Amino acid sequence: MPLNSTRGAASAKAFGLTAGKKSITYPFDIDFLVIAGGGGASSAGAGAGGFRTSTQTITSAGTVITVTVGDGGAGVDGTQPGPRGNNGSDSSISGSGLSTITSAGGGGGANVATGGLRDGLAGGSGGGGARFGGDGTGGAGNTPSTSPSQGNNGGSGKDTAPNYGNGGGGGASAVGANGTSTAGGNGGDGTASSITGPSVTYAGGGGSGGFTGNPGVVGTGGTGGGGAGKNSAPSNNGTANTGGGGGGFEGNPAGSGGKGVVILSMLTTKYSGTTTGSPTVTPSGANTILQFNGSGSYTT
């Protein structure tokens, strides 16, 4: 139910605020989970979107919490020579009196091309490196740096016969696995959160793709929505609203990253009911959970 807009500031400070029949007193805490969009793959798996949490104190009514939910990066043509996958987009929360929390989009997976294109891109978690003309390096995770870390590095590619191997994308809790001479690297696993009540894992890295003409063992997707690598079309995308990285494929197109998500949890007695962007609102024990699958806002 929306907050009563006619109450006075003095009574708000002294007695709390009334939303319909419910009095909301301040201060109180809100828990946040902020997951960025996963990276898009090329030959190698893509990195997961950044995983960040925060608990912040709300001191007054009318605080507008702006929520931005990042899209997953697009997968690209993973044949040689081609581009690297696109990074995912950032997710964030911000508001007056709050610390802004930004999770970085996952890094794009590398292509089986010579030079720098065989190196994965940096991001919340890094994209995997590819194999061709040398061992491509995985992209750096936790970029930009946060504490605690928002993600991990991608795995490296291995340019050794018979089947070569591209690297897996990094995940929130584990690095992407390196490719070997016989197999592609798995995507790094994500991290579990119980902010919605049950434990749910988010931000898994994408698995390495293989070559259609000489299929080897592809990488599995990391737990938490990472797309598995493929030897044939169609490719595997990261799971929507988990921030999972796209699965690699040495074909066209490789997997796209999963869209991010932002989740808020607060005591139901403190929930105002004032939102934009149509979040999913559900009870969980004594709390009310707002899950934003797209951008919007919440007003205390």
Mean pLDDT of 105-122: 94
260: left (phi over 0), alpha (psi -120 to 50) or beta: beta
Q: Please list the residues that pair with 34 across neighbouring strands.
A: 52, 262
* pLDDT at 16 > cutoff 60: no
The distance from CA 295 to its chain's CA centroid, rounded to whole angstroms, is 14
Mean pLDDT of 59-88: 96
Mean of per-residue pLDDT scores for the chain: 91
Contact 290/275 with Cβ under 8 angstroms?
yes
* pLDDT at 178 > cutoff 60: yes
The distance from CA 195 to its chain's CA centroid, rounded to whole angstroms, is 16
Identify the band that residue 23 occupies on the pLDDT scale cut at 50, 70 and 90.
confident
Mean pLDDT of 47-62: 98
Identify the band that residue 6 occupies on the pLDDT scale cut at 50, 70 and 90.
very low
Q: Could you read off the pLDDT of 182-222 as tens digits, one per residue?
A: 899 999 999 999 999 999 999 999 999 987 666 678 999 99
Instruction: Give residue limits of the domains in the chain.
Output: 36-52+70-262
* pLDDT at 15 > cutoff 80: no
The distance from CA 31 to its chain's CA centroid, rounded to whole angstroms, is 17
The pLDDT value given to residue 215: 66
Query: By C-alpha distance, which of 153, 159, 127 is closest to 140?
Result: 153
Phi, psi of 106 (to 5 degrees): -65, 150
Mean pLDDT of 101-127: 96
| Sequence-distant (≥ 6) Cβ neighbours of residue 198 within 8 angstroms | none
Question: Could you tell me the end-to-end alpha-carbon distance of the chain, in angstroms, rounded to an integer?
Answer: 12
The pLDDT value given to residue 213: 60
The pLDDT value given to residue 17: 40
Long-range contact pairs involving 93-97 (C-beta distance under 8 Å, separation at least 24) = 93/32, 93/34, 93/54, 93/65, 93/66, 93/67, 93/68, 93/262, 93/264, 94/65, 94/66, 95/63, 95/64, 95/65, 95/66, 96/63, 96/64, 97/58, 97/59, 97/60, 97/63
* pLDDT at 61 > cutoff 60: yes
The pLDDT value given to residue 210: 82
Each residue of 165-187: b (16+ CB within 10 Å) or e?
bbbbbbbbbbbbbbbbeebbbbb
* pLDDT at 5 > cutoff 70: no
Q: What percent of the chain has pLDDT over 90?
A: 83
| Sequence-distant (≥ 6) Cβ neighbours of residue 128 within 8 angstroms | 44, 45, 46, 47, 109, 110, 120, 138, 139, 154, 155, 156, 157, 166, 167, 168, 169, 170, 176, 179, 185, 187, 205, 206, 208, 219, 248
The pLDDT value given to residue 182: 86
The pLDDT value given to residue 162: 80
The amino acid at 267 = L
* pLDDT at 19 > cutoff 90: no
Mean pLDDT of 98-126: 96
* C-alpha span between 24 and 16 (Å, rounded): 5
Can the peptide bond before residue 215 be classed as cis, meaning omega within 30 degrees of 0? no
The pLDDT value given to residue 164: 84
